[in-house]
Chain A
Amino acid sequence: MKLNTNSNVYTIVYATVIVVIVALLLAVVSSALKPKQAQNVELDRKKQVLSSLNIPLKGVDIEKLYEQLIKEQEIEGKQVLVATLEDGSVKFIIPMRGAGLWGPIWGYIALDDDKNTIYGTYFNHESETPGLGGEITTEYFQNRFVGKHILSADNYGVEIVKGETAGEQVQAISGATITSKGVETMINTTLKEYSPFLNTANLTAQQENDDNHNQEEEVQQ
């Protein structure tokens, strides 16, 4: 039998059949791999959280370390990750989301137990320009926040400025003003949302851990 492969009916039927087959195939594969992919996404999230604590992650069992150090808690209706480091000090990690220049940016900010001093940060982005806005993922930028205080300004938050910095200011990335501002806005809006948690903590935790904390700060410096 010789089919006329150029007839309209044949063309339409052929297209339909092939699309249905492909759609079925992709649907099956996608649902089969979904659990494994979700696991990877979760592992990646844990890695990001841990990296906000300035923990070197090369060759470390992420799952185990996360299990050991971090407890997810709901405080004042907000999700806070409470980390207890190996030296016994407590850090609070707050997840953040915001907007960069081209797309979403996100990150984690780890605070000391006075809920004021920044212990570490982690930022990532979806589509910022590599070499410019993309630099927010680098250690040198993330380390610029370490040791700054979120209560020093008039409001909660940090201030990211161009060029020379003084006191509590954090230096922006040259050529990436909008992304840097995006990071600033992200941190400040998130901290504002968390103000109930940050307020109350300030009174109690500060007194209890004052001595403890002073020592820590010296070590860091």
Chain B
Amino acid sequence: MKISDKTKEVLLGPLSANNPVIVQVLGICSALAVTVQLKPALVMGIAVTIIVAMSNVIISLLRNTIPMRIRIIVQLVVVAALVTLVSEVLKAFAYDVAMQLSVYIGLIITNCILMGRLEAFAMSNGVWDSFLDGLGNGLGYAIILVIVAFFRELLGSGTLFGLQVIPQWCYEHGYVNNGMMMMPAMALILVGCIIWVHRSINKEEKK
């Protein structure tokens, strides 16, 4: 299959130029809460990607049958069903991570990215495009989560994926983990830094 420009735009746009977190500033709340360590951040990113892509597909399939007056409710039911599925699967196969993420898996339902994509894209586009759009937006969200979690875990606990990366002799010479990094406020500041870097690189795209 030849990849058209539109397809490329739909899939790759949300990764950088139209990133849901740092450009549209959606889904910030969960980005703050689950980024203390890389592992939960990665799982959260994957979970959101799967849920956005799947719900986009389902809503896109149903888009011509959904009664306009209850469309938000239908979208919510679809999203809630998928979120419950993911949470059940996580509890069965990744119990530790499910416990770490606790309520935030459930709160994916209220993640603004989901409703935003369903309402803005899936309700008026074909199935394949909707799938790509969901994938792109989910990955765009996941990337930011992973970047933030990378810095927070590295500077806050001196580990990556739970493995010690800052050598012991640094601590012996007076290096101290930055406890500030464990606080949600630092995630916000890091997201701010990412936005700053992103905007200064992509100057011409901002009009």
Q: Do A and B come from one complex?
A: yes
Q: Which residues of B contact A40 (CB under 8 A)?
A: 91-92, 95
On whether the beta carbons of A11 and B81 are closer than 8 Å, the reply is no
Q: A5-B68, A14-B67 are in contact. Are A37 and B91 (CB under 8 A)?
A: yes
Q: A18-B74, A37-B91 are in contact. Are A6 and B85 (CB under 8 A)?
A: no
CA distance A10 to B71 in the complex (A): 13
CA distance A26 to B182 in the complex (A): 36
Query: Least Cβ distance of B179 to chain A in Å?
Result: 9
Q: Which residue of chain B has the shortest Cβ distance to A22 in the bound complex?
A: B81
Q: How many A-B pairs with Cβ below 8 Å?
A: 59
CA distance A6 to B73 in the complex (A): 15
Query: Least Cβ distance of A38 to chain B in Å?
Result: 10
On whether the beta carbons of A10 and B92 are closer than 8 Å, the reply is no
On whether the beta carbons of B69 and A11 are closer than 8 Å, the reply is yes
Q: Does A76 contact B (CB under 8 A)?
A: no
Query: Least Cβ distance of A71 to chain B in Å?
Result: 25
- Bitwise interface map of B from 88 to 126 toward A, beta carbon under 8 Å scored 1, else 0: 110111010001000000000000000000000000000
CA distance A131 to B180 in the complex (A): 11
Number of residues from A at the complex interface, CB < 8 A:
22
CA distance A26 to B85 in the complex (A): 7
Q: Does A29 contact B (CB under 8 A)?
A: yes
Q: Does A44 contact B (CB under 8 A)?
A: yes
Q: Does B77 contact A (CB under 8 A)?
A: yes
Tell me the B66-84 residues at the A interface (CB within 8 Å): 66-70, 73-74, 77-78, 80-81, 84
Q: Which residues of A contact B95 (CB under 8 A)?
A: 37, 40-41, 43-44
On whether the beta carbons of A15 and B70 are closer than 8 Å, the reply is yes
Q: Does A138 contact B (CB under 8 A)?
A: no
Query: Least Cβ distance of B186 to chain A in Å?
Result: 13
Q: Which residues of A contact B200 (CB under 8 A)?
A: none
On whether the beta carbons of B69 and A6 are closer than 8 Å, the reply is yes
Number of residues from B at the complex interface, CB < 8 A:
24
Query: Least Cβ distance of B106 to chain A in Å?
Result: 13
Query: Least Cβ distance of B61 to chain A in Å?
Result: 12
Query: Least Cβ distance of A156 to chain B in Å?
Result: 32
Q: A19-B77, A26-B81 are in contact. Are A33 and B92 (CB under 8 A)?
A: yes
Q: Does B4 contact A (CB under 8 A)?
A: no
Q: A18-B77, A29-B85, A131-B182 are in contact. Are A6 and B67 (CB under 8 A)?
A: yes
On whether the beta carbons of A14 and B91 are closer than 8 Å, the reply is no
On whether the beta carbons of B92 and A14 are closer than 8 Å, the reply is no
Q: Does B168 contact A (CB under 8 A)?
A: no
On whether the beta carbons of B81 and A15 are closer than 8 Å, the reply is no
Q: Does A166 contact B (CB under 8 A)?
A: no
Q: Which residues of A contact B68 (CB under 8 A)?
A: 5-6
Query: Least Cβ distance of A138 to chain B in Å?
Result: 12
On whether the beta carbons of A29 and B88 are closer than 8 Å, the reply is yes
Most buried by B among A6, A22, A41: A22
Query: Least Cβ distance of A21 to chain B in Å?
Result: 9
On whether the beta carbons of A36 and B93 are closer than 8 Å, the reply is yes
CA distance A6 to B93 in the complex (A): 42
Q: Which residue of chain B has the shortest Cβ distance to A3 in the bound complex?
A: B65
CA distance A22 to B62 in the complex (A): 14
CA distance A131 to B93 in the complex (A): 28
CA distance A25 to B80 in the complex (A): 12
3 closest cross-chain pairs (CB), A and B: A40-B95, A36-B92, A11-B67
Q: Which B residues contact A (CB, under 8 angstroms)?
A: 64-70, 73-74, 77-78, 80-81, 84-85, 88-89, 91-93, 95, 99, 182-183
What are 26 A-to-B residue pairs whose CB atoms are below 8 Å? A3-B65, A5-B64, A5-B65, A5-B66, A5-B68, A6-B68, A10-B67, A11-B67, A11-B69, A14-B65, A14-B66, A14-B70, A14-B74, A15-B70, A15-B73, A15-B74, A22-B81, A26-B81, A26-B85, A29-B89, A33-B89, A36-B93, A37-B91, A37-B95, A41-B95, A131-B183
